[in-house]
Amino acid sequence: MDDETRDQQTDVDRPTSADRPAAPTTGLDRLRDALKKPRSRGQLTAAVLLAVLGFASVVQVQATGEDDVYAGMRQEDMLQLLNSLAAASERAENEVAQLEQTRSALRSNTESRQAALETARQQANVLGILAGTLPTVGPGVVVTVEDPTGAVGIDQLLNGLEELRDAGAEAIEINDTVRVIAQSSLEDGQNGVLVDGQQLSAPYTIEAIGDSHTLGRSMDFDGGLTEEIEAVGGDVRVEEVNTVEIATTREPGPSQYAEPTETE
């Protein structure tokens, strides 16, 4: 057999690609083929679920690894670790308790201080009104005394002021000029009366703050201001009003004999 005949025989005997058995299909090949095909909504949903499942598996493996670290510890090490955690927790609880006590103390001190300041402010206002150092407003009466004969003097006016005080007047002013207080003095003048050294003339307008009905009644009882003024030829008009404004004030003077006592 010549060479050409042997080559032809060899080509005939050599198996072709069609005659060779197909290679087995792997999972990677199937996944690649699946990705190349058009994907439906169900396939996309399955892909997302598989991705989530894979992520959860990784997390579980990591957590299992951490658990394995504690599982491999000796009992003494575990007890020491637990004691350390308990001590740290106790310290944190103590610090929280101290901070809460500090907060409560600060809040209590602040509230007490505010209450004390408010009480002091109220007392200062009351004392300022009674002492005549503060202007004031409130219900009361306006008493107008006419003196056409010039017979009204300090006897009648002083009795009227005392009656207003006894009826509960908290602030009194005469002729929008003089603030009448407990230390006020009255003297007869040439053309009227002197109240704390200031000359006042009729008609006298006395404004008083307090219970308007009670103050008004105090002017009309037997032997009161109205009767005394009318007895000397004068006339009295009493108006009970809802608002009386007293704007005049006095400067507080130093005490000559009295001194405050120390309190705890």
Predicted pLDDT at 144: 95
Q: Of 187, 131, 130, give the one whose Cα is nearest residue 158.
A: 187
**Planar angle of CA 92, 75, 73, nearest 5 degrees:** 90
Q: What is the DSSP letter of 191?
A: T
Predicted pLDDT at 68: 52
- What is the average per-residue pLDDT within 222-232? 88
Q: What is the DSSP letter of 247?
A: -
Higher-confidence position of 156 and 22? 156
Report yes or no on 259 lying in a domain: no
pLDDT at 95 over 50: yes
Task: Work out the pLDDT band at 47, boundaries 50, 70, 90.
Answer: low
- What is the average per-residue pLDDT within 196-224? 91
Higher-confidence position of 241 and 98? 241
DSSP assignment of 210-243, as one string? S-HHHHHHHTTSTTSHHHHHHHTT-EEEEEEEEE
pLDDT at 52 over 50: yes
Task: Work out the pLDDT band at 194, boundaries 50, 70, 90.
Answer: very high
Report yes or no on 6 lying in a domain: no
Average pLDDT, rounded, for the chain: 78
Instruction: Find the CATH number of the domain harbouring 242.
Output: 3.30.70.1880
Report yes or no on 173 lying in a domain: yes
Query: In whole angstroms, what is the distance from residue 34 CA to residue 50 CA?
Result: 15
Report yes or no on 167 lying in a domain: yes
Report yes or no on 232 lying in a domain: yes
Query: In whole angstroms, what is the distance from residue 238 CA to residue 236 CA?
Result: 7
Predicted pLDDT at 12: 46
Report yes or no on 149 lying in a domain: yes
Token digits for 163? 């009656």
Report yes or no on 254 lying in a domain: no
CB atoms under 10 Å from CB of 175, counted, come to 17
Report yes or no on 129 lying in a domain: no
- Sorted by sequence, the CB contacts under 8 Å of residue 197 that are 6+ apart come out as 185
- What is the average per-residue pLDDT within 233-262? 87
Q: Are 216 and 125 in contact (CB under 8 A)?
A: no
State how many domains the chain has.
1
- Enclosing domain of residue 174: 135-246
pLDDT tens digits, 101-118 = 888 888 877 788 888 888
Surface-to-core class of residue 142, CB atoms within 10 Å of its CB (0-12 exposed, 13-18 middle, 19+ buried): middle
- What is the average per-residue pLDDT within 74-87? 73
